[in-house]
Structures are given as structure tokens and as C-alpha cells.
Amino acid sequence: MKNPEFTGFSRRTLIQGSVVAGTAGLMLTRPQPASAAAADFAEVTPLWPAPQTAESPAITPPLAALVLNKAGFGPRPGDIAAFNALGGDDAARLAAWVDQQLNPTGSDPAVEDRLAALLLSSEPADQAAYDTIDKTAEQLWTDHARSSDWQTRNRPVWQMERLTLLRGAYSQWQLREVLYDFWFNHFNVFGREFPTSGMMPEYDRQMRQHLFGNFADMLTANAKTASMLYYLDNYANTWPHPNENYAREVLELHTLGAIENYYGPVDPGTVGNNSKGQRAGYTEIDVFQFARALTGWAVSDTTDGSPDTGAFIFRPNRHYNFSDGPIEVMDVTINSPGGGESDVTDVLDYLAGHYGTARFIAWKLCTRLIGDNPSEAIVSSTADEFYNRRFDNDQLKEVYRHVLLSSEFQTAWGDKVKRPIETLVRAMRAADVDFTIRLDDNVSNAVFGRLDDTGQYPFGYEPPTGYPDEREMWQGSGALIMSWRAITYMLRQSSLVNLAEQTNTGIPAVNDRTPDNIVDFWMDRALGYALENAVRDRIVQFITDQLSGAAGSPINTDTTNTGSSSTYQRIIRAVVGLILMSPDALRR
């Protein structure tokens, strides 16, 4: 039962049908279009079904490939060799790589050079391709969020969608991009509604600012963004008509979680303490009390005569007046008015430092970086690291280090599958695609259209839980087929990639371009390891069947003609697609 004093329901109760589970495990956010272009399936037809269970993989890749696929989006050509050059053994290499990735410099040349090149273009559309990403929060609010033109309102989020994939594909700081994805889903907002569509560059900046810092700082900064204040209705949380949406999700999703630490509609006095002497969990009354504390937290938007800037503002005249007694949220008691904004920050700091929050976030991080069923030992040790460093400025950095250097991270493989965005970005990296994804570009928009059909789209998940991360959510046939379409379309664009000619060294010489040699070369090039023999042999047989040749003989076509429309190039595109979409290659 909800307290009748409170208005509004949890956002999750209002969103039905946004995720549908099919019998094959398919998870989609919208119905699939019936008019899929047959041409997208013309070059590559899947040779195997999707893996449907979490059975042990046939192979475990070498550490370099394992790390780059789990703590990054996958290797680009040269990445495996660069990793292996970091030390004399696997332990030294991993430690050196983790240290590099945990200390990213301010520069990211591969991304920055691509953005800078657009500014030198003579095409007006290119000059405007990323014109919103560096605007201040107030500029975004004024120029875009408040605009009456829908294209102007949405231009910032459209650009950030593309920049997110661009960073994943080309950034040297791969761990940062993986962690950004993790935290965005932890603090999920829906990108296609007011004001988030116009404010997304600012939401992105504040999150990245705290990725390697202190969780309490990240939590408080997020609570003050216009995007979150509107998304979970706290802008409308006023006394004497409070709205509990944001208070509930902070407790259920952002800090303590709703599994171990939620006690339901019971007397808070009946809840015992945890091992740290803190109240063991929260109740419905704590939710209502926290909502009271949050009254008056809002956005400066002309209400009460405030300037229309979109900045965080505290409205004392709309804050709880203590007429019904103190605010009591678990172990925090606020007895009298006057604190105002600190009524909330005191609670947020308490929640950030609670051992239940440490447990919940440790479990989520281990689930993301290790597997869907991390052991109690690694979750507990990670929670202890999180809790013991709760006052440190580099708290999160050291928590990541703890997970990445654990034996479980180094040995676990295949318990998870790549989601569609990860599959597409991994393909871009493996094929070394030369593709500056941008707005107002037909190829970019076509790739994004196909990505939209997979059920995963940047900033496109409406419920506050963020996109699911568990294996069973993404291994259905629909998500795989639509991911295949996106990759196939991308590989067919001759302006993006010439798979036959982009590497002058190592590619089989003309007389050695047998089906066996081609498959072995591209497994090493695209994955950094060899697939199991049964899968490898099926890809070899695919080439043989296409050309009516023999596996040990040069393929029966002109392999000196490697142009984009040549038979050889079409074969290579098919082979790369088959390798990247094989069941083992989709594991992480």
C-alpha cells in the first residue's frame, strides 16, 4: 500500500510492455518491422543457432583477448601484441594494462582527430555534426531543451548517441567506455524526453567526471542534474504534496538495492543492524521519509520567479516544514528545519557509505566484469574494498582494480554474451573500420536504424533499471539476427572498409589464399584467438561450398582482384561476419 500522503507512482509501474520475453529468450523494446530488407541477408546466412544455455565454452581465449573483450569492446589490429608487450608474464601484463586504463590522460587522439577533421570539412552538415557536445549546461537548456523545434531539441542526444559508439570503437581508453556504459545504466535516464534529449552532453560530462572518483560525489552530482530531476519527477516533489518516485529509485536502484536490503512495509524499529552497526535495510516508511527530505530540490525554470537556466535549485518554500515531526531515514534523523539542501546530502552521504550499498554495487560490478553468477567470495571482497575506501577520492578506481586483478576476472569466460551495441562496436574494431559516425550522414543513420531494431540503442531504455546485462536477455534469435544485419550492412560499405587490402602484412599471399588460410588469418585478426575446430571447419566449408573448390587449394576465383565488388571481397565480408557472429565469438 502506498501512503496516501504521496502522489505519483514508481516509474516502473507505469511502463508496461517495454520489454517482452519470447520463448527463445528474445528481449526487445519495440516490435520488429515486418519489412526487413532481404538484401541485408543476401551475403551471409547464419550457419548455427544461437547458444541457448550457459554451458561451458569449448575454448578459453588467451588472457590478452579475454581482457580486451571483457574490460573493453574487443581488440583492434595490434591491440593483442601491445597487451603482450606490457610484461614478461600474464600477471605483469594485466597489472600494467589495468594501471594504464585506470589513469586515462585528458587526450584521446583517435577520437579527437576524427571530431577535429569534421570541423575542417567544407560541408555545412559535417561542420555541425558534433556542434552541441561542448556546450555548457545553460546553453544546452536555452538552445535545445527549451526549443519549440523537435529537431533542435533532439539534436544533442542524437549527437551523443553517435559519439558514444565513436568512443567505443576508437578510444584507447576502453575500460573507461565500458565503465561509462555500466554507470549510465545504473543511473539510467531515457534520452528521448524533456529535458534529457537537449541536456545529454551535460549528463554525459558529469558522469565521466566521477567515473574514477568517489561514489558519494557521483551520487550527489547525479541527483542535481536536470535530466534526473525530471526523469524521476523530483522537480515536482513539493510539500505538502510530495512525490516519492526519485526517493524510491535512489534506494532501490542507485544505492541499497531491492533484494538484500529492502524490508517492505514493516516498522523500521523491527529491522536489525548489519555487521557494521548500521540499520540493516530500509522500509516503505524510509522511502516516504526520504521523499520528504527531497521536497524543494528542483530545476531553475521560472517557477517562483527563478531564472530559466536549467540549473539545480533548492526551493525552501516548497521544502518539508517539519509539521509532522522529524525526518528519519534509517540511521539519519533531521529534527528541525533550517538544513534545507543538506537534509538531502546528509542522507545521500549516509546511503553512499552504507555497507548494503557496497554489497549491491559490488555485485553489479562483478556481474558486469566477471559473469552473471559471481562467487560470494569476490562479491564480499569487492564490497569490503568499496566500503573501506568510502572516504577516498579514488574509491571507485581502486574498486575496479580489485575486480580486474582478481583470479575470477582472469579465468571466467563465456558466462555472458555481448549485447547488440557491444557486438557492433566490437565488429568495427575487429574490421578496423574507418568510419566517423556522425549526424546528417546516410551511412551512419542506416547503421543506427539497424541498431535500433536489435532492442538496444544508446540512451533508449525507458525504465530506470537500465538495459539488462544478463546473458539470457540477449541470446534470442531476434537480437542476433538484427545485430547480424547491422554488421553485414556496415561491412558492405566500401567507403568504410576494404577487408582485403587494409593490412599489407600478414594477409595470405595470392597463391596461399586457401579457405583454411583465409579463416585462420581472420580468426587471429578479428578475435585474437582461434575458434574451436568444429566452428572453424564450418566456416572453411562455407567458403568451399561457395566456390566449389577444395579446402586445401587456392579458392576458385581471381584473388588478385580485391575491389569492393569483387567475388573475393564478398567472400571476405561473409567470412568476417561468420567469425564475429559465431556463438563462441559472442561470449564475454
Using the 3D structure, point to which of 162, 178, 209 is the last residue of a domain.
209
88, 100 contact by CB (below 8 A): no
Cα separation, 362 vs 380, whole angstroms: 8
> What mean pLDDT comes out for the span 489-503?
66
Q: Is residue 450 part of a domain?
A: no
Confidence band for 497, pLDDT divided at 50, 70 and 90 = low
Domain assignment present for 42: no
pLDDT of residue 341: 80
Angle between helices 355-369 and 174-186 in degrees, nearest 10: 130
Q: Is the pLDDT of residue 8 over 60?
A: no
Q: Give phi and psi for 107, each to the nearest 5.
A: -100, 155
Half-sphere exposure of 585 (CA within 13 A, CB side): 29
Assigned domain for 224 exists:
no
Band of pLDDT at residue 131, cut at 50, 70 and 90: very high
Q: Is the pLDDT of residue 218 over 80?
A: yes
Q: Is residue 47 part of a domain?
A: no
327 and 400: one domain? no
Evaluated on CA atoms 35, 36, 39, 43, the torsion sign reads negative
Q: Which of 316, 332, 352 is the last residue of a domain?
A: 352
Q: Which residue has the higher pLDDT, 68 or 432?
A: 68
Contact 198, 153 (CB under 8 A): yes
In a shared domain, residues 243 and 346: yes
Give one DSSP letter per residue of 392-450, joined into a string.
-TTHHHHHHHHHHTSHHHHH--SSSB--HHHHHHHHHHHTT------TT-HHHHHHHHH
Count other Cβ atoms within 10 Å, centred on residue 116.
Answer: 10
pLDDT at position 125 is 57
Confidence band for 338, pLDDT divided at 50, 70 and 90: low
pLDDT at 37: 34
Pair (181, 238) in one structural domain: no
% of residues, the chain, pLDDT over 70: 82
User: Higher pLDDT residue, 116 or 513?
Assistant: 116
Are residue 236 and residue 254 in the same domain, yes or no?
yes
Look over the chain and give the mean of its residue pLDDT values, rounded to a whole number.
85
Burial status of residue 102 (CB atoms within 10 A of its CB: 0-12, 13-18, 19 or more): buried
User: Could you tell me if 314 and 399 lie in one domain?
Assistant: no
123 band by pLDDT with thresholds 50, 70 and 90: low
How many domains, the chain?
4
Q: Is the pLDDT of residue 164 over 60?
A: yes
What confidence score (pLDDT) does residue 27 get? 30
What pLDDT, on the 0 to 100 scale, is given for residue 19?
A: 30
Q: Is residue 17 domain-resident?
A: no
The pLDDT of 191-201, averaged and rounded, is 97
Flag whether 496 is in a domain: no
Q: How far apart are CA 4 and CA 395, in angstroms?
A: 40
User: Within this chain, do residues 255 and 240 fall inside the same structural domain, yes or no?
Assistant: yes
pLDDT tens for 341-397 read 888 999 999 999 999 999 999 999 999 999 999 999 999 999 999 999 999 999 999
> What are 56's three cell numbers?
561451458
Give, for 27, the enclosing helix (H) or strand (E). strand 27-28
- In the block, cell 500522503 appears at 5
Q: Are residues 348 and 238 in the same domain?
A: yes
User: In this predicted structure, what is the pLDDT of residue 7?
Assistant: 44
Count of CA atoms in the C-beta half-sphere (13 A) of 104: 20
Same domain, 254 and 348: yes
Burial of 472 (0-12, 13-18, 19+ CB in 10 A): middle
Average pLDDT of the residues in 319-340: 87
> Residue 126 above 70 pLDDT?
no
Assess if residue 407 is contained within a domain: yes
Q: What is the pLDDT of residue 342?
A: 83
- The pLDDT confidence band at residue 105, using thresholds 50, 70 and 90, is confident
Q: What is the pLDDT of residues 235-270, one digit of tens each?
A: 999 999 999 999 999 999 999 999 899 999 999 999
In this predicted structure, what is the pLDDT of residue 583? 86
Which range, of 156-160, 175-179, 517-521, averages the lowest pLDDT? 517-521
Q: How many CA atoms lie within 13 A of 282 on its CB side?
A: 31
Q: Do 347 and 359 fall within a single domain? A: no
Question: What is the Cα Rg of the chain in Å?
Answer: 26
pLDDT greater than 80 at residue 315: yes
Q: What are phi and psi of 300, to 5 degrees?
A: -70, 105
pLDDT of 332 > 50? The answer is yes
Distance CA 359, CA 258 (A): 12
Share of the chain above pLDDT 90, in %: 63
Output the pLDDT for position 494: 59
Q: What is the pLDDT of residues 560-586, one digit of tens each?
A: 666 666 777 788 888 888 999 988 889
Nearest Cα to Cα of residue 55 among 421, 420, 475, 548 = 475
How is residue 391 written as a grid cell? 572516504
Shared domain check, 235 and 343: yes
Give the confidence band of 507 by pLDDT, cuts at 50, 70, 90. Answer: low
State the burial class of residue 25 (Cβ atoms within 10 Å of its Cβ: 0-12, 13-18, 19+).
middle
DSSP conformation letters of 306-328: --EEEEEEE-GGGS---TT--EE
How does strand 332-334 pair with strand 327-329? Answer: antiparallel
Q: What's the pLDDT score for residue 356?
A: 98
Identify whether residues 346 and 242 lie together within a single domain: yes
- Are residues 167 and 336 in contact, defined by beta-carbon separation less than 8 angstroms? no
In this structure, is residue 553 part of a structural domain?
yes
Structural domain including 324 reads: 231-352
pLDDT given for residue 492 in this prediction: 82
Minimum mean pLDDT among 54-58, 302-306, 344-348, 380-384: which range? 54-58
The answer on 581 and 525 residing in a single domain is yes
Q: Which residues contact 545 (CB under 8 A, 6 or more apart)?
A: none
* Residue 160 CB neighbours (<10 A): 21
Residue that terminates a domain, selected from 367, 395, 411? 411
